[in-house]
Structure 1
């Protein structure tokens, strides 16, 4: 069950539910609504019943075994206003992700934000609404300016549940390989963009090979095949540390007092346990989605982190350190 927001009044919850259904125009399952509003399914059902009693026009159906809900499009478009603070929040979001998207997309974002100024109650406040106090520091930025058309094609394929033929060059590879790929969503992770979806068999697009997450900048071509799929997310669990969920492992790592502040401040996995130590350090127990990313992460702390368990992961860290020591060994003579 998602955590509850005890400070939200019943009226605020009802308004949040109504706004979500009305302004998105999308279908939401009971589970999705409970997650969005961070409350129980029982609360959502009660709010839905209240909406029906008020005469709100709801559509309902089933997605698998779970019921979904949607508000019918009203005959007249709602008359709304946006405050300068709300517009500033949108500008903040733009500034925090602008380094990830090509300039052509940034320009469309700027145009859309400019158009929203017409919704301000006082048009004279538009310059104040566009004041920006945010910036993003990024090292090792990827230039996506040559990927505008590919990103657009990927988004269209996601929308239409289309199958694509993708040529992709993996890490450490020199030749691109061709895959049949069903993209499900775009993912931003550590200053890079990825496409997440399902690799399917060449002779049977209904047969999944497994999850696939190619980095956008390593895709040399993405061509829709004209075929469509019904694949769903093969790995909906995002609770572990890392982007690729394969062979998850439970780790126990001890950090010294200097690294403890950084570690304690963050959520590394939903099931993490942080134990304070007498020397000011911490012991972190958490689930890593895969060992490869966890290994790089642990090594980034240097001597301030010590793997305690499992033994196989300790061996992997020890082997990597031995290879690093060889690379830095002084030359004879």
Structure 2
């Protein structure tokens, strides 16, 4: 198993010792299904990382414990402004929290709040009322908690996964055997980057569209130089495609909004008169790029490439057809009420 599996196990061991002061090496070996020799190496690695673990003999057994004075995060060394910044950041962090970290995040912020004087808390609460965080149309991942848990385990243990996935592109369910590399939170959704065994290619999967999933016993080795950031360097969103040159004109009414944001690292913006701007990018992901352009309606015009221009034109044409066709909604049929039965029911109630 890879380094990730060791780290996950060592973190679980630390939590096990922290919550149960009567933990032996044999207990830990049984809990994590490894040898006692492996547990000893894990304990040594944790102590080398600075966690104050120690063993204590009682009634003929040796128990492992965490120094009770250890606070983990040295809150005392933080300034008030640093602690306040952490306190304010909880709105962002909790907003992005996903299993299996949500409970730990809530617990961590309670400890941060406990490090502040009551008067400071009251003051920060009054400022807190001035700041709100609203997620950008987040996906509902409540039903995917078990899927996320299995994926986290498989990524950490570096074992293959079999899953049934609903493809929006083909409108069909497909079964894949994959090497899960990494999860990524992007614009309100959680995405999986994995090598598909059948195609020997890395693909992107939306977690909420995974309908069933199971770990296998087959191990894989992730390329040591793989990173999602490098993989998506030229992508406009989360789908990697060969990059191409793009030019888009934005009208005056939307120019300032577009200019004020970094949509892609390669973007170059230039004034072209009349309050309009042109944006050039070298980017991949035609579907995502087209959807982005369409979101600006008549205020954005694709100059190049021609295939993207034609794609946006076709989508606008289909949208126009929706409004040229009269939409009628059939009225709901009212239920016929038998007057004799209704009268009898009324008599019974009275």
Q: Which runs of 5+ in 1 are unaligned?
A: 1-24, 26-71, 202-207
Question: Do the aligned partners of residues 188 and 103 (structure 1) sit closer, same or farther apart at CA in structure 2, a change above 3 Å counting?
Answer: closer
Matched, 1:261 2:256: yes
Q: Cα deviations across residues 48-88 of structure 1 (Å, max 9, x unaligned)? A: xxxxxxxxxxxxxxxxxxxxxxxx63586888333443344
1:115 aligns with 2:111: yes
Structure 2 vs 1, CA of residues 124 and 305 (structure 1 numbering), >3 Å: closer, same or farther? Answer: same
Question: SS state of the match for residue 284, structure 1?
Answer: strand
Distance 1:214 1:311 in 2: 28
Structure (1 or 2) with the greater helix fraction: 2
The answer as to 2:64 corresponding to 1:73 is: no
1:217 match: 208
Distance 1:306 1:175, change over 3 A: closer
> What is the rounded CA distance, in whole Å, between the counterparts of 1:183 and 1:200 in structure 2?
11
Correspondent of 2:161 among 152, 157, 164: 164
TM-score of the superposed pair, with normalisation by structure 2? 0.63
Residue 150 of structure 1 aligns with which residue? 147
Change (3 A) 1:106 1:73: closer
Change (3 A) 1:88 1:196: farther
* Equivalent position to 2:243, from 233, 248, 251: 248
**Matches of 1:287 and 1:220 in 2, distance apart?**
35
Hey, what does 1:16 align to over in structure 2? none
Q: Within 5 A, what are the aligned runs for 1:168-179?
A: 168-171=165-168, 175-179=172-176
How far off its partner does 1:114 sit?
1.5
TM-score (normalised: structure 1): 0.66
8 A contact 1:194–1:215 mirrored in 2? yes
Partner of 1:283: 278
Matches of 2:322 and 2:118, distance apart in 1: 63
Deviation of the 1:117 alpha carbon? 4.8
Q: Work out which of the two has the higher radius of gyration on C-alpha atoms and give 1 or 2.
A: 2
> What residue number does 1:38 align with?
none
Q: Distance in 2 between matches of 1:163 and 1:130?
A: 47
Q: How far does the alpha carbon of each residue in 1:220-249 deviate from its partner, in whole angstroms, 9 at most, with x for none?
A: 122111222112338624244221111322
Q: Alignment partner of 1:193: what SS?
A: strand
CA contact (8 A) 1:249 1:290 kept: no
Name structure 2 gaps, 5 residues minimum: 1-6, 8-47, 53-69, 327-350
Distance 1:99 1:87 in 2: 19
Offset of residue 103 of structure 1 = 8.2
2:233 matched residue in structure 1: 238
Q: 1:236 to 1:142 in 2, by over 3 A?
A: closer
SS of 2:208's equivalent?
Answer: helix
> What root-mean-square deviation, in Å, do the aligned CA atoms of Structure 1 and Structure 2 show?
3.0
Shift of 1:138: 4.0
Output the CA distance in 2 between the equivalents of 1:129 and 1:160: 45
Runs of 4+ in 1 over 6 A off after TM superposition: none
Number of residues paired by the alignment?
253
